[in-house]
Chain A
Amino acid sequence: QSVLTQPPSVSGAPGQRVTISCTGSSSNIGAGYDVHWYQQFPGTAPKLLIFGNNNRPSGVPDRFSGSKSGTSASLAITGLQAEDEADYYCQSYDNSLSHVFGTGTNVIVL
């Protein structure tokens, strides 16, 4: 159903760097639409983490960063902390489907 593909899970030890990919197509990310990222803890609503490909809202730690190239985008977490264990979703716009979300990635802190 989701047109943006993410790995189901990524893991890393505290202090390490992890990246989450978000793969789309020429009708969404590749068409030039911005990518946004959300963080979600179990039982709570998603929270905006990165907007406009690589911008952090006020209050989001600078260990979170985003990038976009071609038909894909990535979220990087540097200096991984235990509190970063959560689900992460990318989101963009699609020419046919309007707003689309990624399949979601569970980040596991070892």
Chain B
Amino acid sequence: EVQLVESGGGLVRPGGSLRLSCAASAFSFSDYSMNWVRQTPGKGLEWAASISSSGSFIDYAASMRGRFTISRDNVKNSLSLRMSSLRAEDTAVYYCARRGHLGDSFDLWGQGTMVTVSS
């Protein structure tokens, strides 16, 4: 089955760090740009970071630049998001999403992993 499965979420103190992972299966992972999108509780969607298919181009939302690091391993078919200097406002469900060949839409999403930043 074509799918993305996130892991690594949990409770972390303000100022702490966390690493999220996303495992891809049943599609040619190295052909696609990948992204992290987050959703704060009861609120809307916010794009966080993207990485090109080869990993050579990376982009971040302004509020995450310098604190978050996106990376990928095209051999292991995995995507990662290293988050540091976490703040309460980073509390959200984090989704990995594939930017597919249907325009530049996000055509495949994982189930999400919850990150809670609290003391």
Contacts and interface: CB of A to CB of B under 8 A. Distances in A.
Contacts of A98: 47, 50, 59, 61
B95 A45 contact: yes
B88 interface: no
B32 interface: no
A55 interface: yes
Contacts of B45: 38, 46, 89, 91, 101, 104
A45 B59 contact: no
A103 interface: yes
Given A2-B44, A45-B95, A98-B50, A51 B61 contact: no
A99 B50 contact: yes
Contacts of B102: 48, 51-52, 55, 57
A45 B110 contact: yes
A38 B100 CA distance: 14
A46 B46 CA distance: 12
A34 B95 contact: no
A44 B104 CA distance: 22
Interface of A: 1-2, 34, 36, 38, 44-48, 51-52, 55, 57, 89, 91, 93, 97-104
25 contacts: A1-B46, A34-B103, A34-B104, A34-B105, A36-B103, A36-B104, A36-B106, A38-B106, A44-B111, A45-B109, A45-B111, A48-B102, A51-B103, A51-B107, A52-B103, A91-B105, A93-B104, A97-B62, A98-B59, A98-B61, A101-B37, A101-B45, A101-B46, A102-B44, A104-B45
Given A34-B103, A46-B45, A89-B45, 6 more contacts: A36-B104, A36-B105, A55-B103, A91-B106, A93-B104, A103-B44
